[in-house]
Amino acid sequence: MRHVVTSLSAITIATALMISGAAPASAGSAESAVSALSANGKSYSASAAVYTKTGSAWAYSRLDSKSGNVASGWMGANGRLFTSGGTLVKEGGFTYNSGAASGISIPSGTYYKSGTYHSYGVVRVWNGSSYNSHYTFKSPNQNA
């Protein structure tokens, strides 16, 4: 009996994994993997997230300093929302930290249309004389 239960558990887990990879989730959120970058002696992490509810979607780009607070204007981000086919449909524009901060999260604004979307953010960090741009990883697709 134990062998049958173990086999059924393995089949159930395998089926769940296949299903979860086959279709995007509905009404909720999905986050990208976190990427690392550095500039001007500071370390940062960047990520993107997409949020949906029925008929609408929005995205965020997140940038965090791993070196504590950084000076005003040292971190910038642009939340960008894309269709599953890769078309940019909404972006918030670059926004920079307006005071000493250890992180920022910038939205794309809401796009009101059913579909499948992901977030693919871009961030900027001050290198001492100009900004280094860095693209986040793409978030998983999410249905709206």
Task: Please tell me the distance from the alpha carbon of residue 34 to that of residue 38, in angstroms, as a whole number.
Answer: 14
Query: Residue 48 carries which DSSP code?
Result: E
98 compared with 8, residue with greater pLDDT: 98
Task: Give the whole-number percent of the chain exceeding pLDDT 90.
Answer: 81
Query: Residue 79 carries which DSSP code?
Result: -
Q: Per the structure block, which two tokens stand in for 121?
A: 């953010």
User: What pLDDT, in 10s, does the model give residues 82-130?
Assistant: 999 999 999 999 999 999 999 999 999 999 999 999 999 999 999 999 9
pLDDT higher than 60, residue 15 = no
Task: Please tell me the distance from the alpha carbon of residue 136 to that of residue 120, in angstroms, as a whole number.
Answer: 6
pLDDT higher than 80, residue 14 = no
Task: Give the whole-number percent of the chain exceeding pLDDT 70.
Answer: 82
Give the pLDDT score at 26.
62
Task: Please tell me the distance from the alpha carbon of residue 90 to that of residue 60, in angstroms, as a whole number.
Answer: 11
Give the pLDDT score at 19.
40
Question: 89: closest CA among 81, 97, 78?
Answer: 81
Question: What residue type is 54 in one-letter code?
Answer: T
Residue 92 in contact with residue 107, Cβ under 8 Å?
A: yes
Report the DSSP beta bridge partners of residue 119. Answer: 81
pLDDT higher than 60, residue 143 = yes
Give the pLDDT score at 24.
54
pLDDT higher than 80, residue 10 = no
